[in-house]
Structure 1
Amino acid sequence: MSQPFLIGEAMTGGYGGGADILHGCTIAVERGEIAVIVGPNGAGKSTAMKALFGMLDLRAGEVRLDGVSLGATSPQERVARGMGFVPQTHNIFTSMSVEENLEMGAFLRRDDIARTIAQVYELFPILGDKRHQPAGELSGGQRQQVAVGRALMTQPRVLMLDEPTAGVSPIVMDELFDRIIEVARTGISILMVEQNARQALEIADRGYVLVQGANAHTGTGAELLADPDVRRSFLGG
């Protein structure tokens, strides 16, 4: 039986010695697929993402990438294995230029990074225009583009985005989602936590609705959008 490219299976855990936040939660994404995690505030969405990336200890369950268990490997080791992670906040170096931020994203690489930088500028043309400008001077949407671009510099096989559209205008949100679709078309798996549930599910191949750290609903984006329970509880009817 084939396995998903990335899966956190039956994950239970929390931070440090605190109470469990995740309760048997399962999240998976296939190659080149967009998977979205949605749910109410405090549902454990970002915690599930961090568990996949090795940022908290699981008390039960397992994370596997391309069929291989990641065990207790560190986030740095997971980057080396092909996982890119963009946190919701503090995700750029504000005093560095756009291009310096991208170069920092390639810290594990020993090959020529010029082609990847060119690909990022092709994906986000505004960053090419502002490559020498301090990243801290950019708009919120442009900062998010820098953060995503920096993660792409690691040449990830799966890109994990925690609230990529938080605090941006609807127009910028639509643009970011368009770019995320373009990234997925290159074969990179996308796993995304989103508060804008309806818009995220519209572009999702697979969706997960979490409630209190557990799976409440799972299906394709279209299935979840059409589910009366999901619509009533999480999409405003």
Structure 2
Amino acid sequence: MTSATEIQATDGAAPIKEPMLIGESMTGGYGSGADILHGCTIAVDPGEIAVIVGPNGAGKSTAMKAVFGMLNLREGSVRLKGADITALSPPDRVAKGMAFVPQTCNIFTSMSVEENLEMGAFLRRDDTRRTMEQVYELFPILREKRRQAAGELSGGQRQQVAVGRALMTEPTVLMLDEPTAGVSPIVMDELFDRIIEVARTGISILMVEQNARQALEIADKGYVLVQGRNAFTGTGQELLADDEVRRSFLGG
């Protein structure tokens, strides 16, 4: 596992270990509405899989969107590789190395699989063929169906297109909102296997997941949110072994 990013202190002291990405003490909500997040902190280290779980309405997806700049924070900050990006727009965060895959409406259904992947590389000015080949190696079914309209694919295959398109940006952080929603257990296991493979390349994964037990099994770090607050934080295995977490959030 790669260590956290080291930020050199200006006074010559030892480097400060900083997560690859951190949303720290985040408080905020949508527009002028009530706050949904209350001092929530989410972080992920390089090459790590961090999973956000919790009951419905806990603020999981809101925390993810806050980290990606899709809502304004009243308090708190977001840092990427030690740099404060709180004021940056989502497109500017993409340019800095973040990629976000929403739960729904995450592909262009009328475009082919390959056209969807090409759209993912719209910010790049270099040769993207190597990255596309890597996506096809990760998701072999997409190579087979590369000329097919993405809207004709199964739910699991659409998710592969969405993740592949995000990977075309060559991100340092890949953010996934409920990547296994609505897919079969077999497809869920396959998607999780691919997510593990992505993390092994050094990309940080931050993921919201409703299938909490299965997600924590692959997680280096887990966050349990309740009403927009951090309720439990630990490694995936620590949370799986915690009696209260199991009883309250994992069905015993």
**Structure 1 and Structure 2 fold alike (TM over 0.5):** yes
Q: Partner of 1:194 in structure 2?
A: 209
Deviation of 1:162 (Å):
0.1
Q: Partner of 1:79 in structure 2?
A: 94
CA–CA separation in structure 2 for the residues paired with 1:211 and 1:17: 22
Q: Partner of 2:107 in structure 1?
A: 92
Residues 1:51 and 2:66 aligned together: yes
Q: Partner of 1:174 in structure 2?
A: 189
Deviations 1:20-77 (A, max 9, x none): 0000000000000000000000000000000000000000000000000002100000
The equivalent position to 1:139 in structure 2, one of 148, 154, 158, is 154
Amino acid at match of 2:163: V
Q: Partner of 1:105 in structure 2?
A: 120
CA–CA separation in structure 2 for the residues paired with 1:216 and 1:209: 6
CA RMSD of aligned residues (A): 0.4
Deviation of 1:124 (Å):
0.1
Deviation of 1:189 (Å):
0.2
Q: How many residues align?
A: 237
Gaps of 5+ in 1: none
TM-score normalized by the length of structure 1: 1.00
Amino acid at match of 1:211: V
CA–CA separation in structure 2 for the residues paired with 1:190 and 1:2: 18
Gaps of 5+ in 2: 1-15
Amino acid at match of 1:82: G
Residues 1:223 and 2:223 aligned together: no
CA–CA separation in structure 1 for the residues paired with 2:20 and 2:86: 16
The equivalent position to 2:29 in structure 1, one of 4, 9, 14, is 14
Amino acid at match of 2:50: A
Deviations 1:122-178 (A, max 9, x none): 000000000000000000000000000000000000000000000000000000000
CA–CA separation in structure 1 for the residues paired with 2:39 and 2:86: 17
Give identity over the alignment, percent.
Answer: 84
Partner of 1:2, secondary structure, is: strand
TM-score normalized by the length of structure 2: 0.94
CA–CA separation in structure 1 for the residues paired with 2:43 and 2:128: 30
Residues 1:127 and 2:142 aligned together: yes
CA–CA separation in structure 2 for the residues paired with 1:56 and 1:170: 32
